[in-house]
Amino acid sequence: MKEQTLDFLRRFYPLAAFLGGFIWDALTLGRKVQTADFWKLGAYLLAAGLLALWLARREALQVVAPEPGTKLRERVAGLAWQAPYLALQFLFGGIFSALFILYFKSSGHLGTWLMTLFLGALLVGNEFVGKRYGERFTLTWAMLALNAILLCNFVLPHALGSLDPLWFYVSTIAGLLLAHLTWWLAPGRPGSIWPSWGMTSVLLLAWNLGMIAPVPLVMRDLAVGHGLTIEGGRPDLLVERPPFWQFWRDASTTVHVAAGDKLYGVSAVFAPKGVTAALEHRWEFLDKGRWRAVAHSRFQSTGGRAGGFRGHSWVLDPQPGSWRLVVGTQDGRTIGTLKLEVERGTVAPEDLVVRSFN
């Protein structure tokens, strides 16, 4: 009975490892994107490439797995045989976990959420692949290519200090070529690299459809309200208290604006140090089932500030109805969206609280 219980629990080891790593990365990543993070993930990628080459060499030499047994020496030999697979699984999982968190925090609309969900599915799937990385080398090269591409998508804009869309194409091709070179160097070149090229084509298509978040930008804060004041570069915004039952919200999603008054929006977007981004606020109104642009405000951000670069805008005399404030890059990519309902009226002073963007 005890052995059956242990066997049952072993099935959940990968899930427990995934949840533990996910929670850790969620707490430690995304608040700041530092150069040290990229060095760590780059070391993971290098180690994964070397392990893939070593497994290919073992395959070319036709080394067979040791026979299973109950003696200590047999168990140690079996563990040593499995160790490279587990290490490769750990390395891919480490890269996927970190990048998934960063993509998750950079996603601002349905398309990017779907792409992030796809990455999350791969992250969970990696926890259950195990030794198939050594048995199915096509899968190994595809995972290596995807990890290399996603990491390069972060590293190149960070290194160059630019979010020009050109760098996405360059970094994507660079990651693919890195994986292709690893396959070319592998003894016997087991498996096929060409599915990795097909996967890259899908990523480029997703980018052109706006389904990939504008990494490495991360939305830190976004709010709308009244009476904006700026002291020492710090915006302070008066926001309406949320209803008591919406205890998880910092502000109400229904705002009251008197005729002729302004409605303000303030955002904080984090970018790595040295990265300059051209951002904008887009105010949109839901008109006959379609979002119609009403106003927009453009500004430049410089990365490195822990609280994110602050930007603000306003819309004059917004008509009652459904609105949304979209924060994005000036080439049209969305970083964050805040939906709200505008109603005519005034707000009592006791129903307003100060929201500071430090």
- Give the pLDDT confidence score for residue 160 in this predicted structure: 82
- Give the pLDDT confidence score for residue 13 in this predicted structure: 53
Residue 54 falls inside a structural domain: yes
**Of 208, 228, 244, which residue is a domain's last?**
208
Same-domain status, 230 and 83: no
Same-domain status, 266 and 343: yes
Q: Mind listing the pLDDT tens digit for each residue in 42-85? A: 999 999 999 999 989 988 888 877 777 777 776 777 677 777 87
Residue 306 falls inside a structural domain: yes
Q: Which string of b and e fits 284-315 if b means at least 16 CB within 10 Å?
A: bbeeeeeeeeeeeeebebebebeebbbbbbbb
Same-domain status, 269 and 145: no
Residue 151 falls inside a structural domain: yes
- The residue ranges of the chain whose pLDDT is under 70 are 1-34, 74, 78, 105-113, 116, 119-135, 304, 306-307
Same-domain status, 251 and 349: yes
CB neighbours of 12 closer than 8 A, spacing ≥ 6? none
- Give the pLDDT confidence score for residue 51 in this predicted structure: 92
Judge if pTM exceeds 0.85.
Answer: no
- Give the pLDDT confidence score for residue 7 in this predicted structure: 52
Same-domain status, 191 and 285: no
CATH number, domain with residue 314: 2.60.40.1930
- Give the pLDDT confidence score for residue 14 in this predicted structure: 52
Same-domain status, 166 and 234: no
At 81, list the tokens. Answer: 């045989």
User: How many angstroms from the chain centroid is the CA of residue 16?
Assistant: 21
**Of 167, 183, 208, which residue is a domain's last?**
208
Same-domain status, 197 and 239: no
Same-domain status, 113 and 61: yes
**Domain range holding 260?**
218-356
Same-domain status, 172 and 228: no
Residue among 168, 145, 153 at smallest CA distance from 49: 145
Same-domain status, 192 and 94: yes
Same-domain status, 203 and 302: no
What's the structural domain count of the chain? 2
- Give the pLDDT confidence score for residue 231 in this predicted structure: 85
**Of 164, 188, 208, which residue is a domain's last?**
208
- Give the pLDDT confidence score for residue 221 in this predicted structure: 86
Same-domain status, 239 and 181: no
Give me the count of residues in the chain: 358
Q: Decide: 327 and 335 in contact? Cβ < 8 Å.
A: yes
Q: Decide: 220 and 279 in contact? Cβ < 8 Å.
A: no
Residue 213 falls inside a structural domain: no
Residue 49 falls inside a structural domain: yes
What is the C-alpha end-to-end distance of the chain, expressed in Å? 58
Residue 186 falls inside a structural domain: yes
